[in-house]
């Protein structure tokens, strides 16, 4: 049986957003033994209920925008499950003065979550059509602290480095060295690592003041692969 859309009218968004929030809070608590994160900060919770996810999905998916699952956005890409978006945002530990690099703009949903929490977001998307659509969407929604470009996200954004935090929203076979180099001492890199379309390892990599990097495995995940230029 086909799944029935949860949203039919604009007025219903408030109630389904609240329902989604409750689901994400419960899932965060239930996975806390694995992730080390038992609750989300007020800032992340606020972003979860204020960023209009229905504006970041294709029109045929709008009815499922507040279901806690990934959705297709075309070009073989997805908008991530809200729980994972919230968890990765929490793991990054962003603050209001931070400059963050996002690798994998996609629809721009995670970008918007970050933009409401930090000073500046630089985001790289390998698929030009997605980059253009996300840039237009974010501009229409009033996000003025975001800059997007299309390119190989594994190379980072050298001109704007170093970054207080780096978030990668696609799975890399190995951690790109450029991203570690472009991370500030004291910063965090949140990245899924593993083979495409298989269970991958969501990792948090923290760089100390001496430049040493400590890696922690957080949770098994499944992300689309990070699209790289051929070398």
Residue 80 bears catalytic tag? yes
Burial 140-172 (b: 16+ CB within 10 A, else e): eeebeebebebebbbbbbeeebbbbbbbbbbbb
d(CA 54, CA 35): 28
d(CA 5, CA 152): 35
**Which one of 80, 96, 123, 199 is the catalytic residue?**
80
List residues with catalytic annotation.
Answer: 80
């Amino acid at each position: 049986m086909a799944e029935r859309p949860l949203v039919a009218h604009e007025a219903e968004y408030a109630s389904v957003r609240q329902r989604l929030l409750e689901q994400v809070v419960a899932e965060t608590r239930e996975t806390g033994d694995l992730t080390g994160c038992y609750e989300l900060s007020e800032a992340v919770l606020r972003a979860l209920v204020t960023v209009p996810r229905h504006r970041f999905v294709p029109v045929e998916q709008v009815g499922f925008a507040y279901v806690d699952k990934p959705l297709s956005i075309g070009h073989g890409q997805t908008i991530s499950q809200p729980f994972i978006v919230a968890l990765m945002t929490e793991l990054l530990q962003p603050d209001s003065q931070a400059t963050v690099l996002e690798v994998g703009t996609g629809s721009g949903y995670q970008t918007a979550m970050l933009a409401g929490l930090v000073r500046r977001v630089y985001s790289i998307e390998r698929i030009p059509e997605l980059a253009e659509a996300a840039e237009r969407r974010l501009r229409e929604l009033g996000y003025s602290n975001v800059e997007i470009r299309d390119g190989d996200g594994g190379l980072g954004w050298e001109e704007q480095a170093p970054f207080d935090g780096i978030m990668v929203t696609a799975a890399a076979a190995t951690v790109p060295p450029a991203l570690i180099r472009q991370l500030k001492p004291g910063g965090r890199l949140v990245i899924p690592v593993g083979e495409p379309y298989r269970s991958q390892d969501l990792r948090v990599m923290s760089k100390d003041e001496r430049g040493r990097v400590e890696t922690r495995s957080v949770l098994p995940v499944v992300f689309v692969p990070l699209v790289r230029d051929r070398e």
